[in-house]
Amino acid sequence: MIVASASALLRELVEEDVCEFERVEHPGETAIVTPKARPPEASSPRRVAAEPSGPVPWTDGQPTLEDVRAHLGDCQRCDLCEGRRQIVFGDGDPNADLMFVGEGPGEHEDRQGLPFVGRAGELLTQMIEKGIGIPRREVYICNIVKCRPPRNRNPLPPEVSACRPFLDGQIRAVAPKVIVTLGKPAASLLLDREIAITRMRGTWHDYQGIPLMPTLHPAYVLRQYTPQNRRAVWQDLQAAFERART
Ligand code: URA
């Protein structure tokens, strides 16, 4: 009995400290192209206006997603701009009831300019479409940081801080009924404390008056592809969907 609970605790610690902290390259994904290997125009597309300076203009009101994207501009606010192909802003229904927040773009997202389009994204899409039974386009999906961290490492505190006003702007713009955070970093950021994701997932929290449900990151579920983990996420998404419907 003691051995069983000790090994469960150990497993939980290992999962939290190793698996959830560390973002690993997904199998089959190619290594990051270093900034120096890229032509400058590929790493810095000039499709949007240069980065506007000054504080964000939506601290009190409700911006539109276009306002937030325009203010982000061709962002150079942190070092992640040096390695990105493009900014990965967000995807989905601007009026969604359900909003998903992940950690940061990976290789596929950086190439396509859309969040969650790699292997983890395929699983997330399946969870949304088969698990809760709504088309992915009916939810809104974004990340803590909008540019790919080198080698898919965790975003660093200055990078997270630089991007924070834009995540907050997206949340204000979409004004979802429920936020689902994917993995430990997104939940810890929005709840403003280090959380243990395997303990906290499946429980309700609050982000500025919006119910928040932390669940496991789909990349973690892919690595630990157990019936328990799949059931856990399915339950969390069901709970989030039910709450968003009321
Ligand atoms: N992982 C994330 O956290 N976000 C993505 O967009 C893709 C993978």
- The predicted structure's pLDDT at residue 91: 98
What's the residue count for the chain? 246
Question: Which homologous superfamily does the CATH classification assign to the domain defined by 72-191+203-245?
Answer: Uracil-DNA glycosylase-like domain (3.40.470.10)
Determine whether the shortest distance from the Cβ of 115 to ligand 1 is under 6 A: yes
Residue of 36 and 188 predicted with greater confidence: 188
- The predicted structure's pLDDT at residue 59: 80
111 vs 240: CA distance, rounded Å: 30
103 vs 118: CA distance, rounded Å: 14
93 vs 193: CA distance, rounded Å: 29
Ligand 1 center to residue 242 CA distance, Å? 24
* Other Cβ atoms within 10 Å of 232 Cβ, number: 17
Determine whether the shortest distance from the Cβ of 116 to ligand 1 is under 6 A: yes
Percent of the chain whose predicted confidence (pLDDT) is above 70: 80
Whether the CB-CB separation of 164 and 188 falls below 8 Å is answered with no
109-128, pLDDT tens digit by residue? Answer: 999 999 999 999 999 999 99
Rg of the chain, C-alpha, whole Å: 18
Unique residue bearing structure tokens 């499946």: 202
- The predicted structure's pLDDT at residue 221: 98
Residue of 54 and 233 predicted with greater confidence: 233
Percent of the chain whose predicted confidence (pLDDT) is above 90: 75
Nearest residue (CA) to ligand 1, atom 7: 116
Determine whether the shortest distance from the Cβ of 121 to ligand 1 is under 6 A: yes
- The predicted structure's pLDDT at residue 48: 58
Domain-by-domain residue ranges, the chain? 72-191+203-245
28-63, pLDDT tens digit by residue? Answer: 333 322 222 333 333 334 445 677 777 888 887 899
DSSP 154-194: PPPHHHHHHHHHHHHHHHHHH--SEEEEESHHHHHHHHTS-
pLDDT-derived band of residue 246, with 50, 70 and 90 as boundaries? confident
β-pairing verdict for 98-102 and 178-182: parallel
Ligand 1 center to residue 118 CA distance, Å? 8
Kindly state the greatest CA–CA separation across the chain. Answer: 62
52-103, pLDDT tens digit by residue? Answer: 777 888 887 899 999 999 999 999 999 999 999 999 999 999 999 999 999 9
